[in-house]
Copies of this chain bind each other. A is one copy, B any other.
Amino acid sequence: MKLSRQLVKNVIEGAIFASPMPLSIDDIAVLFADDEKLSRKELQILIKELQTEYALRALELVEVASGFRFQVRAQFSPWISKMWPDKPPRLSRALLETVAIIAYRQPVTRAEIEAIRGVVVSTQIIKALFDRDWIVVVGHREVPGRPALLATTRLFLDAFSLSSLSELPPLAAVRDLESISREIENITVEQQKTEG
């Protein structure tokens, strides 16, 4: 039985709203019986249409790492956030730096994070990241002590409305070390002159 285009679209819309988690195309596909099957391509077209239909509403249908979800547009957050009298805790710089290193360098060990930050990473920060399900242990580095290798999760990406790691803001480039040491040499000579 072929379902009407409108019915399929309604089912997709209802399913995304009713699901507690974002829904992937595959999650949506399994909702239809064998004789109702739609291709991924068809589903994607219908989702695009839904996105357009919500253009004038307070919500938007966005794709994040774990799939599609509806969310209230950011412009209304000044009012919506009043529903939660306790403001969400501000993310500390230490936490942001730590999760940024994990996100860009994954998988990494805690020691490697500490080497980059130049300070000990507090247990609270690691715990806070685990509590949010933003990071997981994906294995162990085969060195003495077998330290845990940390990586970010899809929930981390979801929290920042990103659909994949490649959407992270690009990491600033490192200037070539060789050119650095060349430059340094010149400077050093000058330095010695002025310091001497």
Which A positions have Cβ atoms within 8 angstroms of B? 9-11, 13-15, 17-21, 27, 30-32, 57-59, 70, 72-73, 76, 79-80, 82-86, 88, 111, 114, 119-120, 124, 127-128, 131-132, 143-145, 147
Contact = CB atoms under 8 A, between A and B. Distances in A.
A32 B79 contact: yes
Given A20-B124, A119-B131, A14 B76 contact: yes
B72 A17 contact: yes
B82 A145 contact: yes
A72 B82 CA distance: 26
Q: Closest 6 CB pairs between A and B?
A: A85-B145, A14-B72, A10-B58, A14-B58, A13-B58, A11-B79
Given A17-B58, A17-B70, A72-B17, A83 B31 contact: yes
Contacts of A19: 83
A70 to B, nearest CB: 7
Given A18-B72, A85-B111, A13 B143 contact: no
Contacts of A86: 111, 114
B84 A145 contact: yes
A30 B131 CA distance: 23
Nearest to A57: B13
Interface centre among A20, A21, A70, A131 (most CB of B within 10 A): A20
Contacts of A15: 72, 79-80, 83
A86 to B, nearest CB: 5
Contacts of A120: 88, 131-132
19 contacts: A9-B58, A10-B73, A11-B58, A11-B79, A13-B59, A14-B58, A14-B80, A15-B72, A15-B79, A15-B80, A17-B59, A17-B70, A21-B124, A31-B83, A83-B145, A85-B111, A85-B147, A86-B111, A119-B131
